[in-house]
Structure 1
Amino acid sequence: MVSEETSPQRLHLVFGGELKSLSGVEFRDPAAIEIVGVFPDYASALTAWRGKAQATVDNAAMRYFIVHLHRFLNPDAA
């Protein structure tokens, strides 16, 4: 028998790419945006984000972001 999770699923998306400017969040080539993945919780998304951010530290224009998908899927939830 599979046990039910006690906490609600909170999906997070990690993605990134090279920005046009260090002062903005517009991507140089939107077709080249890298989707790192969708993660079941913030902690695992943060781990993936840190890995990608550290791997691209030599390129100041590379930025990775975490999107709280669960907030888009259920905007009425507190």
Structure 2
Amino acid sequence: MTQSSEKKQLLHLVFGGELASLDGVQFKDLSALDIVGIYPDYATALTAWRSKAQSTVDNAEMRYFIVHMHRLLDPEIK
């Protein structure tokens, strides 16, 4: 595939950790963050996020997030 015909990578990071409080997004222990991975598109990241979130459903303080890395790398991309 040539560069012009390749699908554009829209990188997404999935990570999570235990929150200090249910009212915010400050983590109890940054060294204990769970970096699930970096994915080439939102759909793949959502599948990984859903799996991790479901596996920790019994811990109300555990939260997982999807970060749109492509927006940080190139703010012009939507």
User: Could you state the TM-score of these two structures normalised by the residue count of structure 1?
Assistant: 0.90
**Structure 2 residue aligned with 1:57:** 57
Distance 2:6 2:16 in 1: 31
Q: Could you list the runs of 4 or more consecutive aligned residues of structure 1 that deviate by over 4 angstroms after TM superposition? A: none
Q: Unpaired segments of 5 or more residues in structure 1? A: none
**Structure 1 residue aligned with 2:66:** 66
Deviation at 1:8, TM superposition (A): 1.1
Distance 1:68 1:7 in 2: 17
Show CA shifts across 1:21-43 (max 9, x none). Answer: 11110000011001000000000
Distance 1:56 1:69 in 2: 24
Q: How many residues align?
A: 76
Q: Unpaired segments of 5 or more residues in structure 2? A: none
Give the conservation status (yes or no) of the 8 Å contact 2:70–2:77: no
Secondary structure of 1:57's partner? coil
Query: Equivalent residues in 2 for 1:1-78 (5 A)?
Result: 3-4=1-2, 5-78=5-78
Secondary structure of 1:14's partner? strand
- Structure 2 residue identity aligned to 1:59: N
* Alignment RMSD (CA, Å): 1.2
Secondary structure of 2:63's partner? strand
Show CA shifts across 1:19-75 (max 9, x none). Answer: 001111000001100100000000000000000000000000000000000001111
